[in-house]
Amino acid sequence: MDPRNIEKQRQPEEPRYLSFRHLPDGTMRDGKPALNKFSSTLTNGHDFPGAQAMLYAAGVPNRDAMKNSPQVGIASVWWEGNPCNMHLLDLGKEIKANVQKDGMIAWQYNTIGVSDGITMGGEGMRFSLQTREIIADSIETVTCAQHHDACIAIPGCDKNMPGVIMAFARHNRPSIMVYGGSIKPGYSDTLRKTINISSCYESHGAYIYKNLKDAENKHTPDEIMEDIEKHACPGAGACGGMYTANTMSTSIEAMGLSLPNSSTTPAESPAKMRECAKAAAAIRVCMEKDITPRKLLTKESFENALVIMMALGGSTNAVLHLLAMAGTAGVPLTLDDFQRVSDKIPFLADLAPSGKYLVADLFDIGGMPSVMKFLVAAGLLNGNIPTVTGKTLAENIDPYPSLPPDQVIIRPLTNPIKPTGHIEILRGNLAPSGAVAKITGKEGLIFRGKALVFNKEHELDAALNAGQIPHGENLVLVVRYEGPKGGPGMPEQLKASAAIMGAKLTNVALITDGRYSGASHGFIVGHICPEAAVGGPIAAVRNGDTITIDAENNRIDMDVSDEEILERLKVWEQPRSAVTRGVLAKYARLVGDASHGAMTDLF
């Protein structure tokens, strides 16, 4: 079976294991909706006495609750070592309390996460992307093994969101995503301005190239760095710009899988706790109306996700994640869909990393409902898709105010930042299966320069740390053997891209078969496919080759003939992977290519 044929990947509907009290359509024999259609397999009658004994021990209060109450799994991606995730246990407790108040049984559990901000630039980053699969595997496993009737998932960091949605698509039971929310803006006393996690990496580039200065020339570069490091992340919540976490949360809200304003409500705000309370009533609606994830994960809802991604200037990682979400749900989505939507949707949001504002600022002007209201009114966003509330998207956003006339974050359609989207899908002799570029227009649309090749990200980082990348001649920095298999794990390269920005190396473009953080910006191209580790043309690039990145014609080419590329690849030797066992070795064996979402469950 061709693993690239999405239609052939469509999984059969989850079988319904119903008790003797249920009719084949899932309703109770007395005509009432069966909210416990899955858990009743264990809890009705006495076919599973051991299961019932353990459920009583875990907290089921009485026989009536055992027989009649639906069981809702509350899955958080909680752990203490990352501000994006450290508050999710408390959000889960609030959701659990409200689920129980609504007469349902709630079981709280968690899965694992990796902090991209902490691992960035180091070997730990290789473990990041594969956590998306572990999260999906974990939630699918617990939901199906424990016969949960529904799932409320609470993600925080960027791989978390696609991971929980992929799990939803697999188990296909009523589900809602509650996003953990964004962090508050930080503030630097030495720079006298708002800062965030990206400021750390860009300031490091300025520090290395000896052009890091404060507002009044009163502090040393080391004192400035210390100030930035201490104050960039002032509390709980995901990175505050339109980076990957917020790109995914806003896209998923536009798909109807979370409650209104979930994606832009700050992590530590009272509104986020109120959202947790509302989730209990919403999951009951989903069960009563049989609103399941695959009914919401449609081509129309993915189209909405792409529109939001382009309008808000979202992360290149969303290409990877949306492809994987669609593939898991059996929805045909390809790189060409991203280009098609990018060609017609203007880039409107003045949000970091390329803009001035953060998602906390967007919340202050009405948040996602107000943005979506604007886009629906403009005919750019589909308001007719169903959502987890039981209402359409347009009905959800109707009570919310329109964007204030004096706001400056979302530009008018008559004055966009860029008349088309910032995501460009490139192909050419360097990337015959596709590559993903993030071109905001500020860098220009065409870049031509001589290749300077690095076989791993750490080689480029070392060159940048030593100040060895010069100003002057146009250079295309090529980082290879960092794809899904070659990395392994397709690590993000924010450290390098941010250092280039901080060092003001405007003569440099950066291309890779790996990927970038959502905080990355500049003239960057990632996801080059096929990757070097499987003998893609990027493996044949040599120092001094001229490379042209042409976003006007969606091309990325090296000035080398097809015949010469083939000759070079004939003598190419596949490098031995440094990882031969453990989770990364398993991931490298299973993972597919970036142009199909770097999925591990293709069949």
DSSP 431-457: EEEEEEEE--STT-SEEEEEEEEESSH
Model confidence pLDDT, tens digit, residues 223-237? 999 999 999 999 999
Contact status, residue 55 vs residue 66, Cβ threshold 8 Å: yes
Higher pLDDT, 79 or 32: 79
| DSSP designation for 392 | B
Residue 15 has pLDDT above 60, yes or no: no
Return the pLDDT at 441: 76
CB atoms near residue 467 (< 10 Å)? 11
Helix H or strand E encompassing 100 = helix 88-101
Which residues 6+ apart lie within 8 Å of 86 measured at CB? Answer: 78, 79, 80, 236
pLDDT above 90 as % of the chain: 84
What is d(CA 20, CA 362) in angstroms, rounded to the nearest whole number? 51
Return the pLDDT at 518: 66
CB atoms near residue 260 (< 10 Å)? 24
What is d(CA 9, CA 565) in angstroms, rounded to the nearest whole number? 34
Radius of gyration of the chain measured on its C-alpha atoms: 24
Residue 165 has pLDDT above 70, yes or no: yes
Return the pLDDT at 355: 92
Contact status, residue 512 vs residue 480, Cβ threshold 8 Å: yes
**Side chain identity, residue 485:** K
Both tokens of 128, joined, read 């990041």
What is d(CA 506, CA 504) in angstroms, rounded to the nearest whole number? 6
What is d(CA 103, CA 81) in angstroms, rounded to the nearest whole number? 34
- List the alpha helices (DSSP H) in 218-298: 221-231, 244-254, 270-288, 293-296
What is d(CA 311, CA 420) in angstroms, rounded to the nearest whole number? 9
Contact status, residue 232 vs residue 197, Cβ threshold 8 Å: yes
Q: Residue 558 CA to chain centroid, in angstroms?
A: 31
Exposed, middle or buried by CB within 10 Å (0-12, 13-18, 19+), for 286?
buried
Domains of the chain: 70-183+238-397 (3.40.50.2300), 186-231 (no CATH), 423-596 (3.50.30.80)
Return the pLDDT at 2: 44
pLDDT band at residue 3 using 50, 70 and 90 as cut-offs? very low
188 part of the active site: no
Model confidence pLDDT, tens digit, residues 170-208? 999 999 999 999 999 999 999 999 999 989 988 988 898
Contact status, residue 517 vs residue 116, Cβ threshold 8 Å: yes
Q: Residue 30 CA to chain centroid, in angstroms?
A: 44
Contact status, residue 237 vs residue 149, Cβ threshold 8 Å: no
Residue 22 has pLDDT above 50, yes or no: no
Mean pLDDT of 199-221: 89
Both tokens of 267, joined, read 């992590």
DSSP lists the bridge partners of residue 57 as none
Nearest C-alpha neighbor of 149 from the set 52, 289, 36: 36
Contact status, residue 257 vs residue 168, Cβ threshold 8 Å: yes
Model confidence pLDDT, tens digit, residues 369-416? 999 999 999 999 999 999 999 999 999 999 999 999 999 999 999 999
Return the pLDDT at 28: 54
Contact status, residue 417 vs residue 411, Cβ threshold 8 Å: yes
Catalytic residue among 182, 517, 520, 595: 517
| DSSP designation for 349 | B
| Ramachandran quadrant class, 217 (left: phi over 0; alpha: psi -120 to 50; beta: rest) | left
Residue 285 has pLDDT above 90, yes or no: yes
Residue 6 has pLDDT above 80, yes or no: no
Exposed, middle or buried by CB within 10 Å (0-12, 13-18, 19+), for 171?
buried
Mean pLDDT of 564-568: 98
CB atoms near residue 253 (< 10 Å)? 30
Return the pLDDT at 216: 86
pLDDT band at residue 272 using 50, 70 and 90 as cut-offs? very high
Taking the CA atoms of 116, 315, 241 and 508 in sequence, report the sign of the dihedral they define.
positive
Contact status, residue 128 vs residue 135, Cβ threshold 8 Å: no
Model confidence pLDDT, tens digit, residues 497-546? 888 888 889 999 999 999 988 667 778 999 999 999 999 999 999 999 99
- List the alpha helices (DSSP H) in 378-481: 393-397, 457-465
What is d(CA 524, CA 528) in angstroms, rounded to the nearest whole number? 11
What is d(CA 129, CA 279) in angstroms, rounded to the nearest whole number? 28
Residue 423 has pLDDT above 50, yes or no: yes
**Side chain identity, residue 521:** H
**Side chain identity, residue 269:** S
What is d(CA 106, CA 217) in angstroms, rounded to the nearest whole number? 56
Q: How far apart are the first and last CA of the chain?
A: 7
Mean pLDDT of 254-259: 98
Higher pLDDT, 27 or 243: 243
What is the pTM for the complete model shown? 0.93
Residue 7 has pLDDT above 80, yes or no: no
Nearest C-alpha neighbor of 525 from the set 418, 419, 421, 424: 424
CA dihedral 521→527→531→533, nearest 10 degrees, is: 70
